[in-house]
Structure 1
Amino acid sequence: MATSIVPRVPQKVGVVGYGRLGQSLVSRLLAQGSELGLELVFVWNRDPGRMAGSVPPALQLQDLTALEDRHPDLVVEVAHPNIIHESGAQILRHANLLVGSPSALADQTTEQQLMEASNCWGHTVFVARGALWGTEDIRRLDLAGGLQSLRVTMATHPDGFRLEGSLAAAHISGPRTVLYEGPVRGLCPLAPRNSNTMAAAALAAPSLGFDRVVGVLVADLSLRDMHVVDVELKGPPGPTGHSFAVHTHRENPAQPGAVTGSATVTAFWLSLLGCCQLPSKPGIHLC
């Protein structure tokens, strides 16, 4: 028999961002929140016009700096890494934070600011695992000292990319083009909305981190309605000289041109419910 995930205490939730993922979360919170012990107390979007007609006016927050007036227990960011850069530490002064753009943590200054705010105010930085399959297995292997290398490849149609900096002018030279291959820290600022799975992997494997987890971004003209994520990891050589190795291949259906795949929307909702069950404590924790 199926069981519902119910928070231990009622939680007041604010949502920052009203794109496809934000719209899905808001819809579920309005429809199911009361039975799950969750109350939606505000929705903020950089363009407030997008909320017109779908978010009740009383829930529309016009100024993000005024979120404390809504007394949230949890603020969910599903907007853009810039929100975490600019407002993450301030949000932690008033509530726990669920980060939907973990690529923001590739910036060491931002990560340090979040840790300092978390420790100062006793609130938690939760990070949604999103499209990363096997997060707990990666984390446990890393903790046990059994992880030597980790490589995450994300492939989709070029219409699904939102690229910046030098990658914005990248030339697609054939049916399958590798746009970037290297440390995840270097990819995140160039593809902030397409590197979140790699960023989650870097956080799951702190012994490697953003500098030693390898991210690969691939433009594939055949993947018009799908995101494909391959995770490859190896441990150190054993007594026989062979290494423990795992390779997962994840195909996630997606609307043409969409940044977020269909299964990722469901995974994020489960992350939201999961972090509401956990105690508030300082630090950065995958959820």
Structure 2
Amino acid sequence: MALNTVPRKVGVLGYGRLGQSLVSHLLTQGPELGLELVFVWNRDPGRMAGSVPPTLQLQNLAALGERHPDLVVEVAHPKIIHESGAEILRYANLLSLRVTMATHPDGFRLEGPLATAHSTGPRTVLYEGPVRGLCPLAPRNSNTMAAAALAAPSLGFDRVIGVLVADFSLKDMHVVDVELSGPPGPKGRSFAVHTHRENPSEPGAVTGSATITTFWRSLLGCCHLPSKPGIHLC
């Protein structure tokens, strides 16, 4: 069933594993759902050759307004939003989605001092501290933590603690644990929640297998929301 009588125009930034999956879904299922793919942009345009129709390849990110998108999905790198987010929001809503994990060291894409960090045993904590300090060092592996900081404004990026773990036993899996503790009550007991997620993945992959489906469902969920301009976190 179509989401609207008028097709919603979607642009995709990034053509890695997630971008390729979203583009494939939009081309094959988009029309029946009321979604029209209007452009695909990638830092290396050659990666789109032979799989993205030339008319949909956006060579210059600054020209995205000419495609009149309603929604832009970023599945490239956080610095794209840092550099071009304000410009994108002049023309369309923005959907930013990523996943963080504890996994085999080959599954990390680290920057700065963490890029040269080495595991000292079967399971090594590479970072433990405020999320604010981790995000610039692990932009592709800290987004669940960043989302938690945004969802808990009373704590924010300085009081939500992020822990990044390299575990050689997790060769085909990304694991996320979230622990939440409330303040002690009158009898000294605290409310606590602990969630544990295991996402199968290819060895060395940044993106877990279940994440592919999650991104597509998030895009559809975003299109079901009332049309309000801005950034959508799903």
Same fold (TM over 0.5): yes
State yes or no: 1:38 paired with 2:38: no
Structure 1 residues 212 and 285: CA distance shift in structure 2, 3 A: farther
State yes or no: 1:219 paired with 2:219: no
Matching residue of 1:13: 10
Structure 1 residues 284 and 55: CA distance shift in structure 2, 3 A: closer
Matching residue of 1:189: 136
Q: Percent of aligned positions with the same letter in both sequences?
A: 84
State yes or no: 1:201 paired with 2:113: no
Matching residue of 2:66: 69
Letter in 2 for 1:11: R
TM-fit CA distance, 1:206: 1.5
Matching residue of 2:194: 247
Compute the TM-score of the two structures, normalised by the length of structure 1: 0.78
Structure 1 residues 67 and 284: CA distance shift in structure 2, 3 A: closer
**CA RMSD, Structure 1 to Structure 2 (Å):** 1.4
Distance in structure 1 (CA, Å) of the matches to 2:190 and 2:232 = 28
TM-fit CA distance, 1:100: 2.6
SS of residue paired to 1:236: coil
Structure 1 residues 283 and 63: CA distance shift in structure 2, 3 A: closer
Matching residue of 1:268: 215
Letter in 1 for 2:157: F
Matching residue of 1:108: none
- Which stretches in structure 1 are left out of the alignment for 5+ residues? 102-129, 132-153
State yes or no: 1:278 paired with 2:225: yes
Moved over 3 A (4+): 282-285
TM-fit CA distance, 1:281: 2.8
Q: How many residues align?
A: 233
- Which stretches in structure 2 are left out of the alignment for 5+ residues? none
Distance in structure 1 (CA, Å) of the matches to 2:227 and 2:89 = 11
TM-fit CA distance, 1:279: 2.1
TM-fit CA distance, 1:280: 3.1
Compute the TM-score of the two structures, normalised by the length of structure 2: 0.95
TM-fit CA distance, 1:282: 5.0
* Aligned counterpart in structure 1 of residue 57 of structure 2, from 56, 60, 81: 60
